[in-house]
């Protein structure tokens, strides 16, 4: 059962947001608070400070701080006009904080549901920011995404679980000590099966996994870049079965 496997990662709903928050400066919060064209920046800032300092969210999430966080979620820290490199890192911390906060707010006790179907985009933006920051997030990200899957009805109808599972697989493949190959094969098999079950379009031109992932994310290129990296991972010292499954998932995301 997938729940038993996920529990091996020590699922935790708050650890990722808590660790990221420790790196988020007042200047970063002020920049996020200005994201909504500067409107109500003081109210945004108060709400953002609560998230950073306590890991909790205001009772009314409809605007503060969620609109500002969602706008930062779409930001691209590495655009050519972002210089010097320190500012790129600065903006990745902002985006990682925003994405981690959004994903946490979407689940109990907050159950924020005004995220315009962009959970897949939030997940991939978070993945790329975490990979761009000078910290090792592999373990706590695995804890976070295993919790997200467990709390999204793994055998239900929520397509977001496939994006969560790809994120979990990506980081779990790089954990030390190693996650057993058998466990990762089980995760990969489950991911592909659930994508097939969730793909109501049943397109003969595109894989079920690609349909489900891109159907819940408008950031197609970012997912394709991650898929390409999955395909090129050096897993020569892992089991042949795991190599095949990882390559299959990467190829399905690309085709």
Taking only the tens place, the pLDDT of each residue in 143-175 is 999 999 999 999 999 999 999 999 999 999 999
Q: Please give the pLDDT value at position 216.
A: 53
Q: How far apart are CA 245 and CA 166, in angstroms?
A: 12
Q: What is the pLDDT of residue 52?
A: 98
In the chain, how many H helices and how many E strands? 13, 0
Peptide bond into 84 cis (omega under 30): yes
pLDDT digits (tens, 9 = 90+) for 45-78: 999 999 999 999 999 888 999 999 999 999 999 8
Higher pLDDT, 205 or 17: 17
- CB distance 225 to 132 below 8 Å: no
Q: Please report the pLDDT score of residue 148 as a whole number.
A: 98
Residues 89-111 have pLDDT tens digits of 999 999 999 999 999 999 999 99
Q: Is 201 a residue whose pLDDT tops 70? A: no
C-alpha to C-alpha distance for 101 and 17, rounded to whole angstroms = 6
Full-model pTM: 0.94
Q: In the prediction, which pLDDT does 123 show?
A: 95
| pLDDT of 195 | 94
Mean pLDDT taken over the chain = 93
Residue 136 confidence (pLDDT) above 90:
yes
Cα angle 225-231-236, degrees, rounded to a multiple of 5? 145
Q: Please tell me the least confidently modeled range out of 29-38, 66-75, 195-204.
A: 195-204
Contact 222, 129 (CB under 8 A): no
Whole-angstrom Cα distance, residue 249 to residue 184? 12
pLDDT for the residue 199: 86
Percentage of residues of the chain with pLDDT beyond 90: 83
């Amino acid at each position: 059962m997938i729940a038993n496997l996920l529990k091996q990662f020590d699922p935790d709903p708050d650890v990722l947001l808590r660790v990221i928050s420790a790196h988020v400066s007042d200047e970063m919060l002020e920049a996020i608070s200005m994201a909504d064209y500067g409107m109500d920046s003081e109210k945004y800032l108060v709400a953002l400070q609560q998230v950073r300092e306590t890991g909790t969210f205001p009772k009314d999430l409809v605007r503060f701080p969620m609109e500002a966080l969602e706008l930062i979620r779409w930001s691209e820290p590495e655009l050519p006009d972002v210089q010097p490199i320190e500012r790129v890192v600065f903006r990745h911390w902002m985006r990682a904080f925003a994405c981690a906060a959004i994903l946490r707010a979407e689940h109990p006790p907050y159950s924020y549901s005004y995220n315009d179907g962009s959970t897949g985009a939030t997940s991939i933006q978070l993945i790329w920011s975490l990979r761009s920051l000078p910290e090792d997030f592999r373990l706590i990200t695995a804890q976070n995404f295993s919790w997200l899957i467990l709390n999204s009805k793994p055998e239900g109808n929520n397509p977001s679980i496939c994006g969560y599972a790809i994120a979990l697989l990506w980081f779990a493949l790089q954990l030390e000590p190693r996650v057993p190959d058998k466990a990762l094969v089980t995760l990969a098999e489950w991911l592909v099966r659930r994508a097939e079950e969730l793909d109501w379009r049943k397109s003969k031109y595109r894989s079920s996994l690609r349909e489900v992932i891109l159907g819940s994310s408008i950031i197609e290129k970012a997912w394709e870049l991650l898929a390409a990296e999955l395909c090129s991972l050096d897993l020569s010292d892992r089991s042949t079965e795991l190599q095949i499954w990882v390559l299959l998932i990467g190829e399905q995301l690309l085709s």
